[in-house]
Amino acid sequence: MFVDELFKQSAKTAITLLMFVGLPDASIDSFRTGSNFIRLCNTTERVAIYHLIDYKTFINIRYSQNNMMPVNRRSVIRKIGAIGTTLTFAGVATASSDRIRYIVRTNGNVNKEIQDLDYEVLSELAGGNILLIAGPEETTNALTEINGVSNVLHDFNVELEEPPLEQNADSSTERSVDQVYEQFLWDKQLQQVREAHAYATGSGRTVAVLDTGVDNTHPDLDVDIERSAVIIDGQPEPYDGPRGGDHATHVAGTVAGTGAAGMLGTAPDTTIVSVRILGPETGTWGDILAAMEYAAEIGADAANMSVGTYPIPPQRNAVQYRRLMESVANNVTRQGTLLVAAAGNNNTNLQQGGRFTLPNSLAGVISVSASTPSDHLSFYSNYGTNEIDIGAPGGGYETPEKTLTTDPEEVALPYPRNLIYSTLPVSDDGEARYGWKIGTSMAAPQVAGLVALVREIAPNANAKQVQNVIQQSAEGDSGYGDPEFGAGQTNALAAVEEMSDNGGT
């Protein structure tokens, strides 16, 4: 029983999980009785606020990809991993003033007219056809009347929350790279990463991590500080390291852990560029779009985006946002940078109901679902025919109960070893730290690292050619149409062998 497993965890973990279920005021005793728990688990509505009939008040459950939410498939309750974002479709002010930010689609020749209305052009994207601007809210009607302006949309906030399921590793015990690989890196073993290193290690390649900021002092990470940046009001500012966020640092280790202190990434000789788009609490989609373009400007082979939205329903009228973002994504991929995005942790069929998630649903973005140590879809992962391009290890099993099991007689990899092990920011006294996390956030960087391996073999291959090799070499038998894994599950060795067999072209 999942509830019983909760009480085997640390007090912090158990309380966190209970709160993310959406029952912060419920006592543990009443929760253990199961009636409200079962009703919550059986709920199939997917709206921002769930009505729990046994309660006389509504319980707010933010539709966030870091919260636990009801499901109707595979598991009794879903813990959302580290890809957490909550959207607010409302005016966002600039960092330095209260002027409201907008994302505008234009014909590329209207900057002067926009500035004449007292708007500042913060950033030009997609070859100047998409503008991030700031100005007074009361004159937006005048913006729409400018000849050459086709859309005026509010920029919107993205909030990052801590993942509900994570575990720090014991950093006091020194382990060799071989010991770490054999004991903890089941994800790399499944993808035959070490075997792939006989062909390529990512030497000379770059992966941009668009996230909370990477700790550049970690001994297992090679971070290019000169090219790293913080995106503020659509512009890259000098990176404000060294300390980065847990989420980004974990992602970076999965991509390109050097193994110098034990953690081996998919592409250990690849350089990481940290592009901070999310602070301790919030970021904006305008800055995410600017970060995508910045990754292309610096010549990154891949940009990893372990961020995303909840499944946006049709009634939110967000199609215009999607089309606008696709213009930016297409511009980035034309320059050779592959955009790799987590598919999301809502356990939602994205093929049904007209829902979509951003940025993974964008044309030109590789959408990555999460797989388990037993090659099944992880209990939290989104799925859907034509919505998933490929699957990669993201941690956990098919159910939360199985994921949290600590009995080695019940599962091959007891908790927390079935999660994804990687780097964390160094401690205050400079000690290298490591830990386990779960989510499609952990699956996407597996693919971003694989891009670097393939690009080392074929540095002149365009983005589509690299994506094709990765998908064609994936392990699967459903063509590209598998609802859970698209073309299949990543195999690093097969990908580099295929590119080598093709002569590096």
Catalytic residues: 211, 247, 441
Asked whether 392 and 186 are in contact (CB, 8 A), the reply is no
Tokens of 337: 């940078």
Distance in angstroms (rounded) separating the CA atoms of residues 336 and 300:
8
Distance in angstroms (rounded) separating the CA atoms of residues 176 and 354:
49
| Tokens 């997917």, residue located | 46
Tokens of 68: 């636990």
H-type helices in 28-85, by residue range?
A: 28-33, 35-42
Residue 295, helix vs strand vs coil: helix
Distance in angstroms (rounded) separating the CA atoms of residues 261 and 222:
12
What's the CA dihedral at 238, 240, 242, 245 to 10 degrees?
Answer: -120
Distance in angstroms (rounded) separating the CA atoms of residues 40 and 50:
9
> HSE on the CB side for 228, CA within 13 Å?
24
Distance in angstroms (rounded) separating the CA atoms of residues 40 and 61:
11
Tokens of 505: 């072209």
Tell me the Cα Rg of the chain: 22
| DSSP one-letter string for 303-319 | EEE------B-GGG--H
The amino acid occupying position 278 is L
User: Where would I find the beta strands (DSSP E) of 183-281?
Assistant: 206-211, 229-232, 235-238, 271-276
Distance in angstroms (rounded) separating the CA atoms of residues 147 and 144:
8
Please count the residues of the chain. Answer: 505
Asked whether 255 and 435 are in contact (CB, 8 A), the reply is no
Distance in angstroms (rounded) separating the CA atoms of residues 41 and 69:
8
Q: Per residue, what are the HEC states of 176-191?
A: CHHHHHHHHCHHHHHC
Distance in angstroms (rounded) separating the CA atoms of residues 139 and 141:
5
The amino acid occupying position 214 is V
